[in-house]
Amino acid sequence: MKQSTPAAWEQVQLAAKLADLKDDHYRTVLTLSAMLELLIDKGLLSREELTVKAEQLDEQLESLIAASLHPMA
């Protein structure tokens, strides 16, 4: 007969997975920030271009989310 894992141990495992995800997220954001800074420093794009593109992508994502929440609207 298989014994179930105690709830406390499951909470510890969940916390460890969350910590790993936070570390991965931090490293991803750090790498992306460094890449953007290098592109700006090299004159390949401007902060204004980056801001405009981010706003466009945000609007598109918001529209997609709204459409998925209200498919018949």
- pLDDT, residue 73, reads 59
Instruction: Find the distance separating the first CA and the last CA of the chain, reported in whole Å.
Output: 52
- Dump pLDDT digits (tens) for 7-18: 889 999 999 999
Residue 34 clears pLDDT 80, i.e. is over it? yes
* DSSP letters for 21-50: HHHHHHHHHHHHHHHHHHHHHTTSS-HHHH
Q: What is the pLDDT of residue 72?
A: 76
Render pLDDT for 40-73 as a digit per residue (tens, 0 to 9).
999 999 999 999 999 999 999 999 999 998 877 5
